[in-house]
């Protein structure tokens, strides 16, 4: 049964009690998933069930060169057909920088059909000028650029003022969104402590130096992190590193169709009876 037919079965208020979710191409509340090695059939099934709610697919870390070429091309093509931006993980570009293979990296991702790129320095040290050049070069090639702030080292923290300066310069160079690092575990990095809980006052401090967070994407692989960010910043917050099998689950949290955020969006029953 087609998606449009399925939608027509349900009253509009039930499919989105928040009344706020945009259809694609979304500018608010974008969801980025991390693909750590899904097979073609599993990826096809994911898009059939959840493609409408996915805005960005990141082939995590340096996994992209390890796929058979026909498989990765098919995955990219399937995602693009559903209006999804597809990019390799930032670690792969960092490896290209370390090995002095950046031109070859860009040639290959364009040849495979990638539509986005992540510019990060979570593992290596990168000069500000090189970061600028990578962002500008990627944009000149027609790629959407998503930068990342923060180190992957366990225990690393966010310097809010440095983040603000970095983000402003990234945006000025052409970055679409700036991502706050949390790795795929969501523990002991960035906003989150060793248990994956928010570090006290961290988010409030960031908000005080970057009042407009519309162009910030928060890596939040754990459900409680997603709930906390949606409660703090609203359903339109951009969230990333979402496990592939939890896309619909996250969408229910955004819309108020899960108990964790149920009270944020529900209206009295009689409103539906008028």
Look at the pTM and tell me if it is higher than 0.85: yes
Q: Under DSSP, is residue 86 helix (H, G, I), strand (E, B) or coil?
A: strand
Q: Where along the chain do its domains lie? A: 16-273
Q: What CATH superfamily classification does 16-273 receive?
A: Aldolase class I (3.20.20.70)
Query: What's the CA gap between 177 and 157, in Å, rounded?
Result: 20
Cβ-count burial 89-113 (b if 16+ within 10 Å, e if not): bbbbbbbbbeeeebeebbebbeebe
The pLDDT value recorded for residue 203 is 87
Give the pLDDT confidence of 99-117 residue by residue, as tens digits: 999 999 999 999 999 999 9
Query: What's the CA gap between 149 and 151, in Å, rounded?
Result: 7
Give every residue of the chain whose pLDDT is below 50, as ranges.
1-5, 268-274
Q: 31 phi and psi, to 5 degrees?
A: -115, 125
């Amino acid at each position: 049964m087609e998606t449009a037919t399925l939608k027509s079965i349900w009253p509009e208020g039930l499919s989105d009690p928040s009344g706020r979710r945009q259809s694609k191409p979304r500018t608010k509340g974008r969801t980025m998933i991390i693909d750590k090695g899904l097979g073609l059939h599993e990826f096809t099934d994911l898009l059939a069930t959840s493609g409408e709610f996915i805005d960005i697919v990141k082939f995590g870390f340096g996994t992209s060169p390890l796929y058979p070429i026909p498989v990765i091309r098919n995955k990219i093509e399937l995602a693009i057909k559903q209006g999804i931006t597809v990019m390799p993980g930032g670690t792969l570009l960092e490896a290209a920088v370390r090995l002095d293979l950046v031109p070859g990296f860009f040639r290959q991702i364009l040849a495979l059909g990638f539509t986005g790129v992540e510019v990060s320095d979570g593992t290596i040290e990168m000069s500000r000028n090189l970061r600028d050049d990578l962002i500008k070069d990627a944009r000149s090639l027609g790629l959407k650029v998503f930068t990342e702030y923060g180190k992957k080292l366990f225990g690393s923290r966010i310097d809010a003022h440095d983040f603000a300066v970095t983000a402003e310069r990234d945006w000025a160079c052409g970055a679409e969104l700036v991502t706050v690092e949390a790795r795929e575990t969501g523990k002991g990095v960035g906003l989150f402590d060793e248990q994956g809980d928010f570090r006290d006052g961290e988010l409030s401090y960031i908000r005080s130096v970057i009042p407009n967070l519309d162009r910030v994407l928060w890596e939040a692989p754990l459900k409680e992190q997603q709930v906390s960010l949606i409660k703090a910043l609203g359903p339109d917050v951009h969230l990333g590193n979402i496990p592939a099998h939890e896309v619909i689950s996250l969408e229910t949290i955004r819309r108020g169709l899960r108990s964790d955020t149920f009270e944020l969006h529900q209206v009295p029953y009689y409103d539906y009876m008028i």
